[in-house]
Chain A
Amino acid sequence: MARRLPRKDVAIVGLGWTGSIMALELCRSGLDVVAIERGPWRDTATDFNIGTAPDELRYAVRHDIFLRTRQETLTMRNNSSQTALPIRRWGSFLPGNGVGGAGSHWNGQTWRFLPDDFRLRSKMIERYGEKIMPEGHQIQDWPMSYDELEPFYDKFEHVLGISGKAGNIKGQTQAGGNPFEGWRERDYPTPPMKQGYSQELFTKAAAGMGLHPFPRPSANLSSAYTNPYGCSMAPCTYCGFCERFGCSNYSKSSPQTCVLPALVREPNFEARTECEVTKVKLSGDGKMATGVIYVDANGEEWEQPADLVLLCAYGLFNVRLMLLSGIGKPYDPQSGEGVVGRNYAYQTGSGATAFFDNVNFNPFAAAGSLGVALDDYNSDNFDHGPHGFVGGASITNAYTNGRPIMYRPTPRGTPTWGSAWKKAVRETYQRVTNVGAQGSVMSYRANYLDLDPTYKDQLGRPLMRMTFDYQPNEIKMANWMAERCEEIAKAMGAKTTQINRLNTPWNVVPYQSTHNTGGTVTGSDPKTSVLNRYLQSWDVSNVFVMGASTFPQNAGYNPTGTVGALTYWALDAIQKKYLKSPGALVQQ
């Protein structure tokens, strides 16, 4: 039986981007806040120290700062006729752990979704008719518009200090930026990063083809910056140790660099680390949360009563906590009824590899968000009519790193060992680049999350089960994008190119993307969403859920910018509406 602790105003589950922002702002609203985090405290000076941080084996290969599957994992299968098995070693995606969460080890590509992305279903049907919608889809409009989110994107970008070039300020197209982006009130807080030689070639080639390349928005800062919370950051040194690593230079926006230094000064804030929340405790009628139950470092169980519960864990684990807590009706793919676990989506990766002669691309001089992108083939920026698919991709030429355990490409067909391999690895390292397409994945009846019937975590709770595969719409889209990438690679002057089509079926082994979305989606109708437009549970009004699990379907961008904007949007509703009059913010 859990022992009960004194009540707090707010209990936050998970202390990453969304949890730390919520904690800081709600402390400043005068509330007593406790954040409960199952991983350790992590800070730049101690855990991302320059003497130990640039260690590819420890962090990138052995996953030292990631969640350990022994603590929690998922089971996976490609479709519901198969038996799901546990993901024993992370591969396709890498959930974070500890204070900072995935915000510590991310690359930092910080996008806004396009205005069309928020009303994708309506837009596609208006322009192309119902016939373009893919079989078995559950695509739905978001319950808020881009215009409504714009101030909150702006706020998040200025807390992070994002480096970029605006393409559209208050409707005026800006040279050098992304002409397809939604309007923004003002430019990025810091100028774009410098780019390498390969990006020069890409920019020239793409512009020559009539496309619209621009430096992608980056949380690896181009210059020193002090954010509205008074947290200071230093310029990026292009060291090439971003994704899978903490940054030693205070150059990568993270909870550690942007929020925590201000948060720990709030006298009414407390973090409890190495404490795992096992469920949200509900009142007898199931209509209100009374707090959370957690297990501490000694394995003892505690009840933390709270008036407001915010689920701020990694999206997938928010979905599992909802299922384990019995909040909302679980999704049933047979009947199509229920909502928790519904509309799980992911992303596609495809593109082209380009091999050159006599160049020095110096791939090690890199950053997680260095790169030049183009949006000509994203969202509904092009005519889908002739192609018969929904969705799109951002196309990028980038070097995020040249770390040699994992990055040493060779042409297809090269032996994997011996002197011939050695020669190829040496000859290829400096003269290969990639044009990649990060594509959207729609939501489908067949792709979902639920509790596994067989496998349990170390506390005896069922693991979550992921049933997912790429559907024909996504395969068609991603392979079409790969052809576009190869065209650009050829125009860059590559001696040879190699097309990289979407790998199917979805495989858990090779790293693809930690952009898992859906499961607790936001919407206008409680029959097809878990959360209302303020990310408040339809069923339990003092529970709010943050993160990419709220996305109705996924877009062709990295999710963090939108996760941050949604967090400030929900926060605004909590501060201006909920705290004045607690209860459902949207009537059913």
Chain B
Amino acid sequence: MHTDDRSAMRAKFAPPTETPRHASMSRRSLLATAALLITTSGAAAKVVTKVLPWRPNEVYPVTPVTPGGWLFFTAEEAAVVDAIVDRLIPADELGPGAKESGVTTFIDRQLTGPYGGHDWLYMQGPFATNPLPTQGLQSPLTPRQQYRQGLAALAAYCKANYNGRGFADLSGDEKDKLLAGMEKGDVKFDGFSSRMLFNAVHGNTMEGFFADPIYGGNKDMAGWKLIGFPGVRYDFRDVIDNPNKPYTLPPVSMQGQPAWGVR
């Protein structure tokens, strides 16, 4: 994500008091002011000639997600998402689940960024009502719209079918049965595809549980520990030299190991 994209989206959804972090370090805005050269002929192009066009440390890092509060979800929505992700990847004897690992925070922050608005995607119409299955994404709904409308449709469905209870109030078995019906598309919400909501939450849950913890999910690298992925060590020559041996070192994320302290 570009930090400036993220900052802009964050500003749109954040409480008015929050100041975007690292907004002044946006690489793209630096480029726009410092490196937008005017050629001798007057064309506004970024021109590279004779030297490489960068200065030290000009990289644009991801802004680490700080857990706490919601930038997109309402408290009610967040509670339902928490309840769904807790069933998709439950805490059990194999370790923490999605809820404990911050996946809801991950999704909330992703939705405030360019992903949440499909900002990078071709979103011009006309949108076909009956696309071929081979033609992929054809919905005009952005992820933010899918969550907002889908969670409202789920709430209405639960209210109507479970004696006024919300999703978070259902028993574990009831939740699993409902989610399985949404996955198959058998459950019919009023005015929204239950399968679209399931796919959005399921896809984002897997992303959050296995993405670098810098994005707010995969807390303490729980997802990586589950399967034995060592993270971003970036050098496995020792592993290649020792075939078929168990890997024993703990994982490392882009921000290092937790033991290295909070930065």
Q: Are B232 and A422 in contact (CB under 8 A)?
A: no
Closest to A99 in B: B48
Q: Are A417 and B45 in contact (CB under 8 A)?
A: no
The CA of A362 and the CA of B248, in the complex, are separated in Å by 11
Complex partner residue of B136 from A55, A238, A509, CB under 8 angstroms: A509
Counting CB contacts under 8 A, is A335 at the interface? Answer: no
Q: Give chain B residues whose Cβ lies under 8 Å from the Cβ of A483.
A: none
Residue among B123, B202, B211, B224 with most chain A CB within 10 A: B211
Closest to B98 in A: A417
The CA of A430 and the CA of B248, in the complex, are separated in Å by 13
Counting CB contacts under 8 A, is B88 at the interface? Answer: yes
Q: Are A404 and B223 in contact (CB under 8 A)?
A: yes
Q: Are B47 and A272 in contact (CB under 8 A)?
A: yes
Counting CB contacts under 8 A, is A241 at the interface? Answer: yes
Q: Are A88 and B121 in contact (CB under 8 A)?
A: yes
Counting CB contacts under 8 A, is A40 at the interface? Answer: yes
Q: Are B120 and A69 in contact (CB under 8 A)?
A: yes
Residue among A240, A249, A366 with most chain B CB within 10 A: A240
Counting CB contacts under 8 A, is B24 at the interface? Answer: no
Counting CB contacts under 8 A, is A333 at the interface? Answer: no
Complex partner residue of B235 from A89, A239, A270, CB under 8 angstroms: A239
Q: Are A46 and B243 in contact (CB under 8 A)?
A: no
Q: Are B135 and A77 in contact (CB under 8 A)?
A: yes
Interface hit among A60-68, A103-111, A151-159, A170-178: A60-68
1/0 contact string of A422-457 vs chain B (CB within 8 Å): 110110011000000000000000000000001110
Counting CB contacts under 8 A, is B241 at the interface? Answer: yes
Q: Are A270 and B47 in contact (CB under 8 A)?
A: yes
Interface size class of B (residues with CB under 8 A): 35 or more
Q: Give chain A residues whose Cβ lies under 8 Å from the Cβ of B170.
A: none
1/0 contact string of B186-204 vs chain A (CB within 8 Å): 0000000000000000100
Complex partner residue of B50 from A63, A267, A423, CB under 8 angstroms: A267
Q: Are B124 and A455 in contact (CB under 8 A)?
A: yes
1/0 contact string of A73-116 vs chain B (CB within 8 Å): 10011100011011111010000000000000000000000000
The CA of A82 and the CA of B131, in the complex, are separated in Å by 10
A-B pairs with CB below 8 Å: how many? 245
1/0 contact string of B8-51 vs chain A (CB within 8 Å): 00000000000000000000000100001001011111111111
Complex partner residue of A91 from B118, B136, B224, CB under 8 angstroms: B136
Counting CB contacts under 8 A, is A402 at the interface? Answer: yes
Interface hit among A141-149, A297-305, A377-385, A579-587: A297-305
Given A70-B123, A274-B45, A418-B87, CB of A429 within 8 Å of CB of B228: yes
Given A239-B233, A430-B228, CB of A271 within 8 Å of CB of B94: no
Main secondary structure of the interface of B (DSSP, over half): loop
Q: Are B212 and A55 in contact (CB under 8 A)?
A: yes
Complex partner residue of B226 from A51, A87, A425, CB under 8 angstroms: A425
Interface size class of A (residues with CB under 8 A): 35 or more
Counting CB contacts under 8 A, is A207 at the interface? Answer: no
Q: Are B233 and A41 in contact (CB under 8 A)?
A: no
Chain A positions 382-409 with a Cβ under 8 Å from a chain B Cβ: 402-405, 408
Counting CB contacts under 8 A, is B61 at the interface? Answer: yes
Q: Are A408 and B183 in contact (CB under 8 A)?
A: no
- For the complex formed, measure the closest distance between the CB of B257 and the CB atoms of chain A, giving whole angstroms: 15
Interface hit among A161-169, A192-200, A561-569: A192-200
The CA of A297 and the CA of B28, in the complex, are separated in Å by 13
Complex partner residue of B131 from A62, A85, A195, CB under 8 angstroms: A85
Residue among B53, B176, B227 with most chain A CB within 10 A: B227
Interface hit among A117-125, A279-287, A500-508, A518-526: A500-508
Q: Give chain B residues whose Cβ lies under 8 Å from the Cβ of A83.
A: 128
Counting CB contacts under 8 A, is A269 at the interface? Answer: yes
Q: Are B121 and A239 in contact (CB under 8 A)?
A: no
Residue among B31, B88, B122, B237 with most chain A CB within 10 A: B122
Q: Are A56 and B212 in contact (CB under 8 A)?
A: yes
Given A46-B59, A422-B89, CB of A52 within 8 Å of CB of B239: no
Counting CB contacts under 8 A, is B207 at the interface? Answer: yes
The CA of A425 and the CA of B120, in the complex, are separated in Å by 31
Residue among A87, A296, A362, A456 with most chain B CB within 10 A: A362
1/0 contact string of B120-160 vs chain A (CB within 8 Å): 11111010100111111110000000000000000000000
- For the complex formed, measure the closest distance between the CB of B50 and the CB atoms of chain A, giving whole angstroms: 6
Q: Are B207 and A264 in contact (CB under 8 A)?
A: no
Q: Give chain B residues whose Cβ lies under 8 Å from the Cβ of A422.
A: 89-90, 92, 94, 226
Complex partner residue of B58 from A46, A364, A506, CB under 8 angstroms: A46
Complex partner residue of B46 from A57, A273, A419, CB under 8 angstroms: A273
Q: Give chain A residues whose Cβ lies under 8 Å from the Cβ of B114.
A: 62
Counting CB contacts under 8 A, is A5 at the interface? Answer: yes
Q: Give chain A residues whose Cβ lies under 8 Å from the Cβ of B239.
A: 238, 362, 364-365
Q: Give chain A residues whose Cβ lies under 8 Å from the Cβ of B123.
A: 70, 88
Counting CB contacts under 8 A, is A496 at the interface? Answer: no
- For the complex formed, measure the closest distance between the CB of B56 and the CB atoms of chain A, giving whole angstroms: 8
Q: Are A297 and B236 in contact (CB under 8 A)?
A: no
Q: Give chain A residues whose Cβ lies under 8 Å from the Cβ of B62.
A: 52, 55, 58
Complex partner residue of B121 from A45, A68, A271, A425, CB under 8 angstroms: A68
Counting CB contacts under 8 A, is B70 at the interface? Answer: no
Given A51-B61, A89-B137, A404-B227, CB of A272 within 8 Å of CB of B87: no
The CA of A570 and the CA of B229, in the complex, are separated in Å by 45
Q: Give chain B residues whose Cβ lies under 8 Å from the Cβ of A302.
A: 43
Closest to A273 in B: B46
Q: Give chain B residues whose Cβ lies under 8 Å from the Cβ of A5.
A: 39, 41, 43
The CA of A273 and the CA of B239, in the complex, are separated in Å by 40
Q: Give chain B residues whose Cβ lies under 8 Å from the Cβ of A419.
A: 90, 92, 94
The CA of A237 and the CA of B233, in the complex, are separated in Å by 10
- For the complex formed, measure the closest distance between the CB of B183 and the CB atoms of chain A, giving whole angstroms: 7
Complex partner residue of A88 from B59, B61, B136, B233, CB under 8 angstroms: B136
Q: Are B41 and A41 in contact (CB under 8 A)?
A: no
Counting CB contacts under 8 A, is B167 at the interface? Answer: no
The CA of A587 and the CA of B211, in the complex, are separated in Å by 57
- For the complex formed, measure the closest distance between the CB of B46 and the CB atoms of chain A, giving whole angstroms: 5
The 3 closest A-B pairs by CB, nearest first: A365-B236, A365-B239, A197-B243
**A–B complex contacts, Cβ < 8 Å, 29 sampled:** A5-B41, A46-B59, A52-B60, A55-B212, A56-B211, A61-B207, A63-B120, A68-B120, A70-B119, A76-B134, A85-B132, A195-B240, A238-B240, A239-B235, A240-B236, A241-B232, A272-B46, A297-B46, A360-B247, A362-B245, A364-B230, A366-B236, A404-B210, A418-B88, A421-B89, A422-B226, A429-B229, A430-B228, A509-B134
Q: Which residues of B contact A (CB under 8 A)?
A: 1, 31, 36, 39, 41-54, 56, 58-62, 87-90, 92, 94, 114-115, 118-124, 126, 128, 131-138, 176, 179, 183, 202, 205-207, 210-212, 214-215, 223-224, 226-230, 232-237, 239-241, 243-247, 254
